[in-house]
């Protein structure tokens, strides 16, 4: 399991960042620069993503396995407790972590995710995961993302799309630009939306903890109704909507960073 570790001598509660289904540590690298040593921040590549090893059995590409991987990592680096930042799948991992290992979680950021998932967004993700696209240049990869994701980030420039492409893709030894994950993560992927009593019970584990729920205003995966319902459960929760963004906020938006700063103050 590969991870990035930005150290700090502050003694404040560290952060562990968990990315979405097809994403990796590069989604969070700007936060290391933003914190500038004020707090330790660790960013993980889930199994099968980035520089982490690919699983021998694709059936282990599931949230429960990711939770146990992170617990093992915390034990190995002697980290008893952390604030969890989870985007999409990473937010599901965070809710399960809080339910199964409550002593490990000091607070949480759930980025555009909750116990109920809208079918429209799940279908969009399911249609694209595991397709294995590749490109000759970063500009070609960026233009493809601009065509497929214009509704998510309508204000992006070509420079922004190139930066986005460099988070999702990597250049292989043959000079091709390829997605940076094991295509087999698509094999156990479930395309059934909606919610479950089990996931709502897991959210209950965050009930008294400082929790930030971020929602992209244009999200097709995480509805405003679900977000507001979560606020009825989270006694120490805050809901922030990021304007003109779909699934999911990049956490680089000024609104997102302001909300994160407020969350960190509430934890410590």
| DSSP symbols for 101-168 | -GGGEEEEEEES--SEE-HHHHHHHHHHTT---EESSHHHHHHHHHHHSTTTSTT--HHHHHHHHHHH
Helix (H, G, I), strand (E, B) or coil at 176: coil
Of 241, 265, 236, 263, residue with least CA distance to 253: 241
Give the Cα separation of 65 and 93 in Å (integer): 9
Tens digits of pLDDT across the chain (268 residues) = 999 999 999 999 999 999 999 999 999 999 999 999 999 999 999 999 999 999 999 999 999 999 999 999 999 999 999 999 999 999 999 999 999 999 999 999 999 999 999 999 999 999 999 988 899 999 999 999 999 999 999 999 999 999 999 999 999 999 999 999 999 999 999 877 777 899 999 999 999 999 999 999 999 999 999 999 999 999 999 999 999 999 999 999 999 999 999 999 999 8
Q: What is the CATH number of domain 3-128+192-267?
A: 3.40.50.1820
In terms of pTM, does the model score above 0.95?
yes
Instruction: Break the chain into its structural domains and give their ranges.
Output: 3-128+192-267
Using CA atoms, how far apart are residues 158 and 161, in angstroms rounded to an integer? Answer: 5
Residue of 182, 178, 251, 184 whose CA lies nearest to 216:
251
């Amino acid at each position: 399991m590969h991870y990035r570790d930005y150290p700090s001598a502050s003694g404040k509660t560290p952060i562990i960042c968990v990315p979405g289904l097809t994403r990796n540590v590069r989604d969070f690298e700007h936060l290391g620069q933003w914190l500038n040593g004020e707090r330790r921040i660790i960013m993980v590549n889930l199994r099968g993503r980035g520089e982490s090893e690919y699983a021998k059995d694709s059936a282990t590409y599931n949230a429960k396995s990711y939770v146990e991987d992170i617990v093992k990592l915390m034990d190995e680096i002697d980290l008893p407790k952390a604030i969890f930042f989870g985007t999409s799948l990473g937010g599901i991992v965070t809710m399960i972590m809080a339910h199964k290992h409550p002593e490990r979680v000091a607070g949480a950021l759930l980025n555009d995710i909750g116990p109920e998932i809208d079918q429209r967004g799940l279908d969009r993700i399911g249609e694209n995961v595991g397709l294995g696209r590749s490109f000759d240049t970063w500009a070609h990869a960026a233009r493809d993302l601009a065509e497929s994701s214009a509704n998510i980030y309508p204000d992006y420039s070509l420079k922004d799309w190139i930066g986005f492409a460099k988070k999702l893709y990597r250049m292989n030894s043959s000079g091709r630009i390829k997605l940076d994950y094991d295509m087999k993560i698509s094999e156990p992927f479930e395309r059934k939306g909606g919610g479950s009593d089990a996931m709502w019970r897991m959210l209950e584990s965050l009930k008294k903890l400082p929790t930030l729920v971020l929602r992209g205003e244009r999200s097709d995966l995480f509805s405003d109704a679900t977000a507001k319902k979560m606020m009825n459960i989270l006694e120490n929760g805050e809901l922030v909507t990021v304007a003109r963004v779909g699934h999911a906020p990049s956490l680089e938006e000024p609104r997102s960073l302001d909300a994160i700063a407020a969350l960190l103050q509430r934890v410590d």
